[in-house]
Structures are given as structure tokens and as C-alpha cells.
Amino acid sequence: MLQNCDLLKIIKGNHESKISHHEIEKVIGTTISTENAIELFESIGITITQYGDSYEFREVDFLNEELIKKEIDQIEDSENIKLSVEQIIETTSRYFSQKDIEKYEYSVCFADFQTQGRGRGSNQWLSPYGSGICFSVIGSLFSEYSPLGLSIYCGIIISRTLRDLGYSGASLKWPNDLLHGGKKLGGILVELTSQSQDYYSFNIGVGINYDIGSDLNSMAENLFPPTDLLKINHDLSLCRSEMSGILARTVIESLKKFNQRSIQSAFKFWPEYDALFEKEVKIIEENDILEGKNIGIDHTGALLLDDNGVIKKVYNGHLVI
């Protein structure tokens, strides 16, 4: 971990986006081949390209804890929120100890790079160092709410916030994908664990592409190819830290108001945010395939499919066109 921090110091303190091979060997304390040097940086999500005896890399917009804290401090009772901003960790969703979780009303962790970032199911969430807005919020709520409903609720809140920030095309694909213009912008992962008969603990993970750069091109053949905030708006006035803080603040403020009334109020806006509303879709769940017209969601967040007049409720599965 110490070596990783030293490598990041070179990147962070270098304003010409160049690093010599000698510098790398000096940091790690031994000789190293060009191939191994490149692999070393790739292990922390940074791509370096060789040019003679040196390497070039793209500029990184490092997270700034002060800017993030400035947004979190605007939340009522912010002293009951545990904030952590990390450079490299395994995953934001498993960062806090049980002691932290029990002591604070909410715990929120941001990271520049996750070595074991988690997506839906067993999928990994992989993105280059400093390329995304990645954070997890941990807290508790009454047990009457389902993970599906909470995921969709948070998706609507985040999409609405992005639209308020100028991303008018921000939308959702049931149940947890963030889209923009038919391309994947990010995702939301929600886990609920029963703590008692009355309460669940929740773990909400948010991943949004901020600046993936050239890596976007390598995934262009996907059904929903990726996009990022900087590509959508080159004149973005907010840095990654400010965007991160605003989005986390909005999510936590919405969770503070979370109840049956607020969730149903948010669900009314689902057709406005659903990128595939009233379109023919297909749901893949293990070995089963369901097809029909997407006509919205019910009060729990289940997807409603109209299959030739027969309305089916879908609680799990991967939605494709």
C-alpha cells in the first residue's frame, strides 16, 4: 500500500503528465522492466504509455476531501455522518467497521479507485483511476421498505439531481442503471440486511462515469455503450469532487425523508425517467425470459410487463431491448 501511495505522489505532483523510468525505479527501490512498470500502474487503474525513456499519462482529477465535506456539512445534523475520502481501497461498500456503522446515523465513503469495485450480482465495477464518482452510503431504515423500491427511489433522486445540474438526458433503465442518450452512465447497487424485526441496515453504492477518456471507445459495441459526464458536457463547471459531494448530499437528504409517502411521490415520476417506458423489452432471469411492453412500475418498484393483455410483475432480472 505504501508503494501505491508513492506512485500516486509522482502522478499527483507531476503537472506535465510525464514520468521517467528512473523515477519509477527510485520509488520502488529496484530495477524494473518497461512491461512491469506499465503493469504496476495498471494495477492501480492508471494507464501509462511509453515514449523513449519516459511515460505519459492522462491528467487525473483527484478527489478533494474539503470540497466534498463542504457539501456534506450542509446536511442537517451532519455531525452524525461519518465521511471518508480514500485514494485506493478494495470497495467503498465494505470500508467501514461495524463500530463506525453503529456510531453514526450515516457513513459515506468515496474512492478514487476500487480494486474490487462491485456491480450487480457477481459483476465487478471497473473504471480507471479517478475516472468516476464512486461512493457508498450506509445507514438504517424501517423494515417495511424493499431493496427494489429503495434502489428505484435513489435512481430517481440521482437522475433528477443530474438533470438539475444540466444533464437533461439523464434517465434510468430498470432497476438500477443510469443512462444518458441511450448510453450507460452508471449504476446503483442497494443491499439491505435485517438488523431486527423493525429495522434494516442499507448499503447504497453509486457509480457514475465522470471521465473515462479513451476507454469509452473499447466498449462501443455494447448494447448500452458507456458514456461519461465530461463527454456529455465538455464545459462542465463543476469538478469531480463538487459533483460527488452534491450527489451524496442529495441522496442522504432524500434518505432522511424516506417514508411511504416520499417513495410513492417519487414513483409517480418513474415514467418521466424510464428510458424504455412503453417500449417492448425482454427480461432475462437465470434461464427464464419474459417479454412484453414496459408499462411502468407498481408501488413496490416491480416492473410491469404487458404481455398481450396479461400484466406480469417482475421483481428480478436483467432488462434488455
Residue 80's CATH number: 3.30.930.10
Domain boundary among 56, 74, 91: 56
Q: Are residues 94 and 209 in the same domain?
A: yes
Q: Are residues 43 and 70 in the same domain?
A: no
In whole numbers, what is the pLDDT of the chain averaged over residues?
86
Q: Are residues 88 and 232 in the same domain?
A: yes
- CB contact at 8 A, 122 and 91: no
Starting at the edge strand found earlier in the chain, the sheet holding 18-20 runs 18-20, 54-56, 49-51
Digit-coded pLDDT (tens) for 31-86: 989 999 899 888 888 888 988 888 988 888 899 999 999 999 999 999 999 999 99
- CB contact at 8 A, 258 and 153: yes
- Asked if pLDDT for residue 305 goes beyond 80, the answer is yes
In sequence order, what are the residues at sequence separation of 6 or more whose Cβ sits closer than 8 angstroms to the Cβ of residue 90? 114, 115, 116
Starting at the edge strand found earlier in the chain, the sheet holding 132-142 runs 81-89, 106-114, 132-142, 199-209, 183-194, 177-180, 170-173
Q: Are residues 15 and 81 in the same domain?
A: no
- Asked if pLDDT for residue 229 goes beyond 90, the answer is yes
Percent of the chain with pLDDT over 90: 45
C-alpha cell at 202: 442499507
Q: Give me the pLDDT at residue 117, please.
A: 61
d(CA 192, CA 42): 33
CATH (domain of 299): 2.30.30.100
d(CA 68, CA 76): 15
CATH (domain of 19): 1.10.10
Of 245, 280, 270, 311, nearest in space to 151 by CA: 270
- Give the confidence band of 254 by pLDDT, cuts at 50, 70, 90: very high
Q: Are residues 52 and 83 in the same domain?
A: no
- Say how many domains are in the chain: 3
Q: Are residues 108 and 46 in the same domain?
A: no
Q: Are residues 167 and 33 in the same domain?
A: no
- CA 33 centroid distance within chain: 35
- Asked if pLDDT for residue 222 goes beyond 50, the answer is yes
Mean pLDDT (whole number) for 258-262: 86
Hey, how many other C-beta atoms are within 10 angstroms of the C-beta on 28?
A: 15
Q: Are residues 197 and 151 in the same domain?
A: yes
d(CA 295, CA 272): 12
- Give the confidence band of 221 by pLDDT, cuts at 50, 70, 90: very low
Domain limits at 300?
276-320
Digit-coded pLDDT (tens) for 140-195: 887 666 667 889 999 999 999 999 999 999 999 998 899 999 899 999 999 888 76
Q: Give me the pLDDT at residue 273, please.
A: 96
Q: Give me the pLDDT at residue 147, please.
A: 64
Q: Are residues 156 and 254 in the same domain?
A: yes
In sequence order, what are the residues at sequence separation of 6 or more whose Cβ sits closer than 8 angstroms to the Cβ of residue 73? none
Q: Are residues 69 and 40 in the same domain?
A: no
Q: Which amino acid is at 283?
A: I
- CB contact at 8 A, 208 and 226: no
- Asked if pLDDT for residue 218 goes beyond 50, the answer is no
Q: Are residues 15 and 115 in the same domain?
A: no
